[in-house]
Amino acid sequence: MELVLTEDQELLAKTAADFVRQHSPVSRVRALRDANDPIGFSRDLWKQMAELGWTGILIPDTYGGAGMGLADLAVVLEALGRMLAPEPFLSTVLLAGELLSRAGSDAQKKTWLPGIASGEKVLTIAYQEARSRYDLRRVTTKAERQGQNYLLSGEKIQVLDGHSADAFVVSARTAGGQNDARGITLFLVAKDTPGLKLTPQHRVDNRAAALLTLDGVKIGQDSIVGSLDGGYEILSQVVDRATIGLCAEMLGGMSQIFDDTIAYLKTRQQFGVLIGTFQGLQHRAARLFMEIELARSSVMAAARAADANDPEWQSLVSLAKARCSDAYILAANEGVQMHGGIGMTDEHDAGFYLKRARATEMTFGDAAWHRERWARLHRY
């Protein structure tokens, strides 16, 4: 495992950085927030990103994608993360797209994957419920067999990009008790299916999210993704892989707020000198630099291990997510603190990073949760 970008990845990183700089400054995120639009991203930009090949990086070439790996997608996500771009990579590419790529029927793949690669479709998954926290097994949404069909009932929370999604992958219980791994089935539900109801949720990071209520939603057996009762295994694998993508985004975010903070230390004057001359700030900045470097190594290792199917890959996911959660929060907290009063204002970007840091921390398990998982995997 070489922890270095290939020449192709270097090139991709540069293209992504240029594109993001030109088309997606943080001011765009601010404008989207102020518009209070439930879609929350730009379909036009999403289409352009698809044309650059980004939305199809993970999709097999038979379905219109490039069949590349997480290490490749990571460099794009890092660039997007720098400017907090809200386009639906997590929901559509890393979660729903990956579920279909890995477990979908041929018909399901043919229907949806080319549309993801071309930027025409948005998909998402509905897996979280009230109090389910980070446990993918805690599913109370029910799927009851009725002849050749299933009836879905329950409520899913914080469904990312729910209002723009053309279809949802919904986890539901077909057997077993509330916390059992066995007995969870994944269903693919198109957006206009009767009985689905979406209510916008307003999150601190302004990412589009919705409450999804399922009231006797009737769907056929061909809607099952993967196997009956066996949804947990594939869901947890895909969430682990998506976590690597999320970590890449976090790496971009923490790097940007760090760069912004260092730049501020070099321009802000107090007591007649630049505040960057103060050792109290210099040492904290140096420590933060180290934390970000260690986070970067962990993310690179996790992505490469997952691509190579290394037996250690899931333990490296926990390493990366624990490190990124801690480092992003530290970078954002220090960013606000070192900017002083201006960092507390809505007018300044620092707050956007502070909010996104927490939102990403609480997606797919926070640092404590991943350290506990790591400890279990290593028999501590």
Partner 1 sequence: MADLEQFRTDTRKWLSDNSPQSVRGLILALGEGNWGGRKATYPNPDMKRWLEVMAERGWTAPEWPKQYGGGGLSKAEAKILREEMAALKLPEPLSGFGLTMIGPTLLQFGTEEQKQEHLPKIVRGEIRWCQGYSEPGSGSDLASLQTKAVQHGDYFIINGQKVWTSYANLSDWMFMLVRTDPSAKKQEGITFILVDMATPGVETRPIKLISGSSPFCETFLTDVRVPVKNVIFKVNQGWTVAKALLNHERSMIASAFGGGGKKRSMRDWAEEYVGLEDGRVADSALRHRIAQYEMDNLAFKLTADRSRDAAKAGRPPGPESSMFKIYGTELNQRRQELLLSIAGPHALGWEGPGFTEREITLTHDWLRSRGNTIEGGTSEIQLNIIAKRVLGLPD
Taking residue 192's Cβ as centre, other Cβ atoms within 10 Å add up to: 8
Judged by CB under 8 A, the stretch of 31-39, 41-49, 113-121, 286-294 that binds partner 1 is 286-294
Q: What angle do CA 243, 247, 251 make, to 5 degrees?
A: 175
Query: Rounded CA gap, 380 and 293, in Å?
Result: 26
In angstroms, the CA 321 to CA 60 distance is 26
Reported as half-sphere exposure (CB side, CA atoms, 13 A), residue 213 has a value of 7
Residue 71, interface with partner 1 (CB under 8 A)? no
To partner 1, the closest distance from the beta carbon of 351 in angstroms equals: 23
* Shortest spacing between CB 284 and partner 1, in angstroms: 9
**Per-residue contact string for residues 319-358; x = within reach of partner 1 by CB under 8 A:** x--xx-----------------------------------
Instruction: Supply the minimum distance, in Å, between the C-beta of residue 74 and partner 1.
Output: 14
For residue 45, how many other CB atoms are within 10 A of its CB?
17
Backbone angles phi, psi at 16, to 5 degrees: -65, -45
CB of 224 to partner 1, least distance (A): 36
**Residue 284 phi, psi dihedral angles, 5° rounding:** -65, -40
Nearer to partner 1, 204 or 290 (CB): 290
Contact string (CB under 8 A) for partner 1, positions 2-41, x = contact: xxx-------------------------------------
CB closer to partner 1 out of 167 and 288: 288
Pairing of strands 123-126, 167-173: parallel
CB of 278 to partner 1, least distance (A): 9
C-alpha to C-alpha distances, 70 to 104, 172, 301, 307, nearest whole angstrom: 19, 28, 11, 6
Site string for partner 1, 215-254 (x = CB under 8 A): ----------------------------------------
Q: Which is nearer to partner 1, 145 or 266 (CB)?
A: 266
- CB-wise, 214 or 299, nearer to partner 1? 299
DSSP β-bridge partners for residue 145: 150
Region of residue 269 (phi > 0: left; psi between -120 and 50: alpha; otherwise: beta): beta
165 or 350, CB closer to partner 1? Answer: 350
Query: Smallest distance from the beta carbon of 368 to partner 1, in angstroms?
Result: 8
| DSSP string covering 349-379 | THHHHHHHHHHHHTSS--HHHHHHHHHHHTT
* Residues at the site binding partner 1, with contacts judged by CB under 8 A: 2-4, 262, 265-266, 274, 276-277, 279, 281-283, 285-287, 289-290, 293-298, 300-301, 318-319, 322-323, 371-372, 374-376, 378-380
